[in-house]
């Protein structure tokens, strides 16, 4: 069965170009141009990955990403945000709203294809019959759920993969580069600040129900350990 990709984009020429290229790669493609219809279409078609334009009539990509992330049945679907805005601040805003990845227009079709593949590749990784526990944090990989004590923690797909990497090796300091490579995949250019944005989101979700166990190692990266957010130099 072919995997489904949903394109939410009002520029017809671009949407058709992407649709053509994705179909050539064997994907089943759905296209929606109206922002206010996008979330309903995602819920109906349940794609494996969403390509979401930032600037849309009636509802912005940012609002759509937020809505998708608030709905239990579709909130784990990876979102690749398309943006004509090159500003770093806008990218961060997009990621904060719930996008997993972003591509700045104009982009090359092969680059976008690589990102679609990378976002799809990550999904099966999560299917494993086991769980990880660190202090009061429990990660159930079968159910794809995270708990802190008895509280269910809502995490986006990127935060889930980040936590999985950290919790598999408690105390180990991971560099931003290592996290980027493992969580986002090879052959993909993502700025290292992107890691910081997702770590911030992961922290915020986890810390709602307990102390901060994510340690920032200055100029290096991150680790999961009981020292938490107190800054320390790399070993
Ligand atoms: Ca547009």
- Tokens representing residue 5 in the block: 């990709």
Cα of 68 from ligand 1 centre, angstroms: 18
Burial per residue of 25-36, b for 16 or more beta-carbon CB atoms within 10 angstroms, e otherwise: eebebbbbbebe
126-224 CATH choice from 3.40.50.1970, 3.20.20.80, 1.10.10.10, 3.40.50.2000: 1.10.10.10
- Please give the Cα distance from 147 to 137 (Å, whole number): 6
- Please give the Cα distance from 131 to 142 (Å, whole number): 8
What's the pTM value of the predicted model, to 2 decimals?
0.57
Cα of 55 from ligand 1 centre, angstroms: 4
Number of H helices, E strands in the chain: 8, 12
CB-based contacts of 20, cutoff 8 Å, min separation 6: none
Cα of 83 from ligand 1 centre, angstroms: 8
Residues in the chain: 235
Cα of 162 from ligand 1 centre, angstroms: 30
> Where do the structural domains in the chain lie, given as residue ranges?
4-124, 126-224
The predicted structure's pLDDT at residue 74: 87
Look at residue 137 and give its three-state secondary structure.
Answer: strand
Digit-coded pLDDT (tens) for 32-79? 999 999 999 999 999 999 999 998 988 999 999 999 988 888 888 999
Residue with tokens 């979401």: 52
Q: Is the pLDDT of residue 29 over 90?
A: yes
Same fold yes or no, 4-124 and 126-224: no
- Please give the Cα distance from 206 to 79 (Å, whole number): 22
Superfamily classification of domain 4-124: Response regulator (3.40.50.2300)
Digit-coded pLDDT (tens) for 189-205? 778 888 999 999 999 99
């Amino acid at each position: 069965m072919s995997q489904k990709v949903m394109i939410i984009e009002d520029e017809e020429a671009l949407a058709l170009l992407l649709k053509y290229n994705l179909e050539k790669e064997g994907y089943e493609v759905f296209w929606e141009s109206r922002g206010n219809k996008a979330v309903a279409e995602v819920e109906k078609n349940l794609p494996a990955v969403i390509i979401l334009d930032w600037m849309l009539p009636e509802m912005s990509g940012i609002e759509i990403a937020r809505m998708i992330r608030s709905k239990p049945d579709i909130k784990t679907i990876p979102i690749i945000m398309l943006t004509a805005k090159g500003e770093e601040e806008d990218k961060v805003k997009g990621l904060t709203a719930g996008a997993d990845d972003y591509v700045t227009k104009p982009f090359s079709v092969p680059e976008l294809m690589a990102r679609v593949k990378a976002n799809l590749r990550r999904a099966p990784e999560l299917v494993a019959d086991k769980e990880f526990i660190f202090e009061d944090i429990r990660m159930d990989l079968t159910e794809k759920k995270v708990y802190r004590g008895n509280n269910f923690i809502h995490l986006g797909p990127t935060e889930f993969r980040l936590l999985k990497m950290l919790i598999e090796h408690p105390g180990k300091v991971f560099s931003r580069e290592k996290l980027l490579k493992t969580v986002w995949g090879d052959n993909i250019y993502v700025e290292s600040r992107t890691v910081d944005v997702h770590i911030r989101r992961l922290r915020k979700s986890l810390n709602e129900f307990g102390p901060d166990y994510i340690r920032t190692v200055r100029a290096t990266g991150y680790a999961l350990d009981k020292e938490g957010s107190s800054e320390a130099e790399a070993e």
